[in-house]
Chain A
């Protein structure tokens, strides 16, 4: 049974072949393959981590964008509200100013009216005086045809003036 009896020559060659094979592979092949595979596994892990990070970042970015939009909306609303407020304020102010102005104008008008009135009063008085004088002249001219009447009148007038003063 040759199979069960290890042949020395075969053992020798087997050992030699395995030793050479081990020497070659252990020196040049396996360390390089193992290193490359480990490195690639590391790279893939890193890639996955990076992708996950990017995804979470993207999700965050969406949330951030949403927040930004909401903020902008809020600001817009604020601005609109402010603008409305400002508008009413301006209108109010304008109204007040207009009122003031109108009052001024009215006042001025009143003053001028007063003045005109006074002036016209004065004029009227003068005119009335002049008319009265003319009438009085007429009357006097007609009545002063006799001396008695003249003296009476003078007397009367003088009395009047005295009582007036």
Chain B
């Protein structure tokens, strides 16, 4: 039975791929044949979009709602299918389109076309591919954790099995084995934030590795997403910091010469406050982006080589590329977990470091 299902799934996927290939072949007839733009392909896949690709079709998009405030402050909401293929959509008295202007700085973004033909970037609150991805990830996290919670509610002390057992293992690993030893008494207070961050990041990372809807959005490889996460840790760290934490920054225990006439150490310490979230933000972003990029580059290589040397070389490359990208995806699965864990671990350390007290410091000395 299992073999039959596997065979059927494989057949369906193959059929879809063949169909997609035929579609693409039709589509690309108009373009320069064999001309591949690797940079465009890569950034198109890594970037945000106003629609979500339908699996195995390069042209079809799942339309998503566009929400924007025009220059005059008026509110506009319409589906992204109205502005695809360079169409201009008139919503009320404002014209919207997706910019194709290379020099305008808004390429690929929603712009309002003003009366004089110039482009204005409105306040854009659209549910883009990434936003929907974030919402899906959030919903998944709620579903997963709720299922674990309901298990405990229903079964009491019985150990969960299967997926819930794995979830429990991860929660145990992150909370009991990591947050608790670092935070000590404060673990129950900050545990929920750190666990939420961990599961949210992990889910987004893993969703990013699934190629087709509802995955495929490069969420944690987007600076906006990691910036928000790092900023939250930054604010939690600094807004709950103790008096001693601030004293250590502006009047650290170093020789007076290092801090009195020229506040060198305080300056360095203060920069440390800013570099910590910056490091968090860039680390997660770069790791996830890098993983995605390597996989895409390996796949694009097939097309590049096919374009350059013909089908034979392309076919040979595809074998190597698929194997290598498979390896990269497996590695990325590991990186997804590690980066989510590292973000949580560092957040835990930063927050607990901001909660240092005079007496606890005396013990460590």
Q: Show the binding face of A for B, using Cβ within 8 Å.
A: 1-15, 17-18, 20-22, 24-26, 28-34, 36-37, 39-41, 43
CB pair B48–A7 under 8 Å, yes or no, is: yes
21 A-B residue pairs with CB within 8 Å: A1-B43, A2-B48, A3-B43, A3-B222, A6-B223, A6-B224, A7-B224, A8-B124, A10-B48, A10-B130, A10-B225, A11-B227, A14-B229, A18-B228, A18-B229, A21-B196, A26-B192, A26-B196, A28-B149, A32-B152, A37-B175
Instruction: Please report the C-alpha to C-alpha distance between residue A3 and residue B296 in the assembled complex, in whole angstroms.
Output: 16
Q: Show the binding face of B for A, using Cβ within 8 Å.
A: 43, 46-48, 107-109, 123-128, 130-131, 134-135, 138, 141-142, 145-146, 148-149, 152-153, 156-157, 159, 168, 171-172, 175-176, 188, 191-193, 195-197, 200, 221-225, 227-229, 232, 289
| B104 CB to nearest chain A CB (Å) | 13
Taking A18-B200, A25-B192, A33-B149 as given, write out 15 further A-B residue pairs in contact, using a Cβ cutoff of 8 Å, ordered by the A residue number: A1-B43, A2-B108, A3-B289, A13-B135, A14-B131, A14-B229, A17-B138, A18-B197, A18-B228, A18-B232, A21-B141, A25-B196, A30-B145, A33-B152, A34-B188
- B142's partner among A25, A40, A43 (CB-CB below 8 A) is A25
Instruction: Please report the C-alpha to C-alpha distance between residue A18 and residue B227 in the assembled complex, in whole angstroms.
Output: 12
| A127 CB to nearest chain B CB (Å) | 121
Residue of A nearest to B124 (CB): A9
Instruction: Please report the C-alpha to C-alpha distance between residue A24 and residue B199 in the assembled complex, in whole angstroms.
Output: 13
- A29's partner among B109, B146, B222 (CB-CB below 8 A) is B146
CB pair B224–A14 under 8 Å, yes or no, is: yes
Q: Which secondary structure characterizes the binding site on chain B?
A: helix
Instruction: Please report the C-alpha to C-alpha distance between residue A64 and residue B289 in the assembled complex, in whole angstroms.
Output: 70
CB pair B134–A14 under 8 Å, yes or no, is: yes
Q: Which secondary structure characterizes the binding site on chain A?
A: helix
With A2-B47, A20-B138, A22-B196 known to touch, is A32 a contact of B221 (CB < 8 Å)? Answer: no
Instruction: Please report the C-alpha to C-alpha distance between residue A41 and residue B153 in the assembled complex, in whole angstroms.
Output: 16
- A7's partner among B124, B168, B197 (CB-CB below 8 A) is B124
With A4-B223, A11-B224, A14-B224 known to touch, is A34 a contact of B131 (CB < 8 Å)? Answer: no
CB pair B188–A3 under 8 Å, yes or no, is: no
Residues from chain A with Cβ under 8 Å of B43 in the complex: 1-3
Instruction: Please report the C-alpha to C-alpha distance between residue A142 and residue B344 in the assembled complex, in whole angstroms.
Output: 167
CB pair A30–B228 under 8 Å, yes or no, is: no
CB pair A3–B196 under 8 Å, yes or no, is: no
Residues from chain B with Cβ under 8 Å of A39 in the complex: 157
| B135 CB to nearest chain A CB (Å) | 6
Residue of B nearest to A15 (CB): B228
| A44 CB to nearest chain B CB (Å) | 8
Sort A-B residue pairs by CB-CB distance and give the 10 closest, nearest first: A26-B192, A6-B224, A36-B152, A30-B192, A10-B224, A13-B131, A14-B228, A9-B124, A29-B145, A21-B138
Residues from chain B with Cβ under 8 Å of A15 in the complex: 228, 232
With A6-B223, A7-B124, A18-B229 known to touch, is A25 a contact of B195 (CB < 8 Å)? Answer: yes
CB pair B192–A22 under 8 Å, yes or no, is: yes
Residues from chain A with Cβ under 8 Å of B47 in the complex: 2-3
Residues from chain A with Cβ under 8 Å of B128 in the complex: 9-10
Instruction: Please report the C-alpha to C-alpha distance between residue A19 and residue B95 in the assembled complex, in whole angstroms.
Output: 33
| A23 CB to nearest chain B CB (Å) | 9
CB pair A26–B193 under 8 Å, yes or no, is: yes
Residues from chain B with Cβ under 8 Å of A5 in the complex: 223
CB pair A33–B145 under 8 Å, yes or no, is: yes
Instruction: Please report the C-alpha to C-alpha distance between residue A33 and residue B146 in the assembled complex, in whole angstroms.
Output: 9
CB pair A40–B125 under 8 Å, yes or no, is: no
Instruction: Please report the C-alpha to C-alpha distance between residue A10 and residue B123 in the assembled complex, in whole angstroms.
Output: 11
| B103 CB to nearest chain A CB (Å) | 14
| A156 CB to nearest chain B CB (Å) | 141
| A43 CB to nearest chain B CB (Å) | 6
CB pair A13–B145 under 8 Å, yes or no, is: no
Residues from chain B with Cβ under 8 Å of A10 in the complex: 48, 128, 130-131, 222, 224-225
CB pair B142–A24 under 8 Å, yes or no, is: yes
Residues from chain A with Cβ under 8 Å of B157 in the complex: 36, 39-40, 43
- A9's partner among B126, B135, B153 (CB-CB below 8 A) is B126
| B131 CB to nearest chain A CB (Å) | 4
Residues from chain A with Cβ under 8 Å of B135 in the complex: 13, 17
| A24 CB to nearest chain B CB (Å) | 6
Instruction: Please report the C-alpha to C-alpha distance between residue A74 and residue B195 in the assembled complex, in whole angstroms.
Output: 67
Residue of A nearest to B199 (CB): A25
Residue of B nearest to A41 (CB): B176
Residues from chain A with Cβ under 8 Å of B289 in the complex: 3
CB pair B141–A25 under 8 Å, yes or no, is: yes
CB pair B223–A9 under 8 Å, yes or no, is: no
Residues from chain A with Cβ under 8 Å of B172 in the complex: 37
